[in-house]
Amino acid sequence: MSTIVNEVRKGFYLDSVALMRLSAEIAAMGGIEEAVLMIGTPSNLEIMQNAGVLNATGDTAGPNDLVIALRADGKGSANRALAHANETLDGKSKKKGGQSAAKARTLKGGLTLHPDANLALVSTPGTYASREARAALDAGLNVMIFSDNVSLDSETKLKRQARASNLLVMGPDCGTAYINQVPLAFANSLSHVTSAANTAAIAASGTGLQEFAVLLSKLGGNLKHGIGVGGRDLSDAVGAISTLQAIDLLSEDDSIEQIVLISKPPGPDTAKLVFDKLAQCGKKVIACVFGYEESLVPDSITYAANLRDTAELAADSKLEEPDYDSIADSLVIDIDADRQYVCGLFTGGTLCTETQLILQQAGINTSSNAAAGSSTPLTDSTDAHRIVDLGADEYTVGRPHPMMEPLVRTDALAQALNNASTAVIILDVVLGYGAHEDPTAAIVTTLNNGPQSRPVVIAYVCGTESDPQRLNKQQSALSDAGAIVCDSNCGAAELSAAIIQRIKNR
């Protein structure tokens, strides 16, 4: 018989990521069936109700209170877990209290303490993000909105307000940016190459910008700015307000020699605005627009089919990669006849998109929950080429993004390892600031606990040696666990495609 235990801590706030990590930690304790630590907003209470962990005590919580909700096999386990939760929370809150003497609660207060600030980085829950962004614009600050779940209407209003005041809005849902070589939010640590031409990117995609930045850096290029504009900026609804501003800013900047655009296909009306402005900006322009016809891009703009091509064109140099065809030849020998399908488990949205398009070019019919190109919707059947974006909304409601909490991928990976029809598993690992401190650890554990006979595991680590997680260390850990580690996301997709083609032809 399960016991449900709730405790409410009045007026105690921690950001949801910290709470979720702690929830996971507590859920792993002995005798605990479910552990949820959440701020008591109405929607969170509903989530906890639905999770069957809420009782009358927890239900009294307000939006400024923390609920600790546990389902355990008995009072003893519940009390141990509760004690651990409280110890951890107290430790954290003490640290916070020590600093908060000098910390402001609102932007107004923050600006009094730091009058020189020029950028607000907004990463609150989406419900509150547009209000904070507007307050920042009112105060004359540029804004990077990391938060998602901001309405299209709010996005457009914020961007119009910003444009009228010569301010820039990056986002919403802008995971990555580099401003004057400073990495913001989810971004890799890049070495600065003063001898190389200065490149600036305008990106409607966080992991797209990260992959480009990492490859450009590897090829000796120098990224000065990476302006994130948010995934919807180039839609006709928003009309590329931030992108057009960014083009103007960069074309006025004499230190910038070339501009790179990374985006999904723009809205039809917006495409013309953006490409016309890019064509006239007076700099070399490379456009990587996923799923877009090359013929739709004006001649004066260099078309790039994927992020590796983009980086190679920008750096004017080729990435040295192994001969994936010969690797595929040797791997395919040991793959059972029943194994026919590829299963991609991605944490980076654009890496997932790029993989689908490359597989499709190789004649592989992909399915995906974040369909790109000719992908069909994902179904429950595992007898299909499945390319899954684990960072999509349906996986992240009430849970942290898999780039922050790699454990989110564990179940899906274990299933794929045990699936008899899967031939190839593709994994991405994104390093850098903001990402988990050791993202391969969860993968390695799952691989080591997996079956002897398993699909080929192909992995790509998007990162640099100066990232906090260290590229080499992460790559070695994966290799040691039997994964094949590729040098680009394209490479991982190409190797997977080569294997599947050989399976088809045998």
Partner 1 sequence: MSASDLLQKGPRVIGVGLPGFVDDLNTQGIDASALDWRPPASKNTAALEAAEALSAGDVAGQISSANAQAIERMHTADPVLCDVQLAADVIEGLGEHKVLHAGPPIEWDHMCGPMQGAVAGAIVLEGWAKNLEAAFKLANSGKITFEPNHHHNAVGPMTGIVTQSMPLMVVENRTFGNKSYCAINEGLGKVMRFGGNDDSVLERLRWLESTMGPLLADTLLACEGVDLKNIISRGLSMGDEMHQRNVACTSLIMRELAPTMARVGDPDTASEVLAFIAGNDQFFLNVAMAMGKAIMDPVRDIGGSSIVTAMCRNGTEFGIRVSGCGDQWFTAPVEMPRGLYFPGFTEKDANPDMGDSTIVETIGLGGFAMAASPAVAGFVGAGTAADAAAFTNQMAEITWSRNPEWTIPALDFDGVPTGIDICKVMNSGITPTINTGIAHREPGIGQVGAGVVNAPLGCFEQACLSLHERLNAS
Q: Which residues bind partner 1 (CB under 8 A)?
A: 13, 15, 17, 39, 41, 62-64, 96, 100-114, 116-125, 127-128, 131-132, 134-136, 140-142, 146-147, 166-168, 179-185, 189, 225, 245, 249-250, 252-253, 433-434
Distance (Å, whole) CA 364 – CA 375: 10
Shorter beta-carbon distance to partner 1: residue 121 or 362? 121
Distance (Å, whole) CA 318 – CA 312: 5
Q: Which of 370, 340, 319 is nearest to 492 (CA)?
A: 319
Least Å from the CB of residue 428 to partner 1: 21
Shorter beta-carbon distance to partner 1: residue 435 or 490? 435
Least Å from the CB of residue 112 to partner 1: 6
CA dihedral 83, 88, 90, 93 (to 10 degrees): -150
For the record, the structure tokens of 450 come out as: 């997996």
Shorter beta-carbon distance to partner 1: residue 15 or 480? 15
Least Å from the CB of residue 119 to partner 1: 4
Least Å from the CB of residue 360 to partner 1: 35
Shorter beta-carbon distance to partner 1: residue 147 or 464? 147
Shorter beta-carbon distance to partner 1: residue 251 or 488? 251
Shorter beta-carbon distance to partner 1: residue 29 or 117? 117
The continuous run of DSSP H or E covering 270 comes out as: helix 268-279
Shorter beta-carbon distance to partner 1: residue 43 or 365? 43
What does the buried/exposed string (b/e) look like for 381-419 if buried means 16 or more CB atoms within 10 Å of the residue's CB? eeebbbbbbbbbeebbebbbbbbbbbbbbbebbeebbeb
**Alpha-helical runs (H) found in 423-488:** 440-449, 471-480
Least Å from the CB of residue 266 to partner 1: 21
Least Å from the CB of residue 429 to partner 1: 18
Least Å from the CB of residue 64 to partner 1: 5
Beta strands in 82-168 (DSSP E): 119-122, 142-145
Distance (Å, whole) CA 254 – CA 496: 42
Residues with Cβ within 8 Å of residue 444, at least 6 apart in sequence: 477, 478, 480, 481
CA 328 to the chain's CA centroid: 29
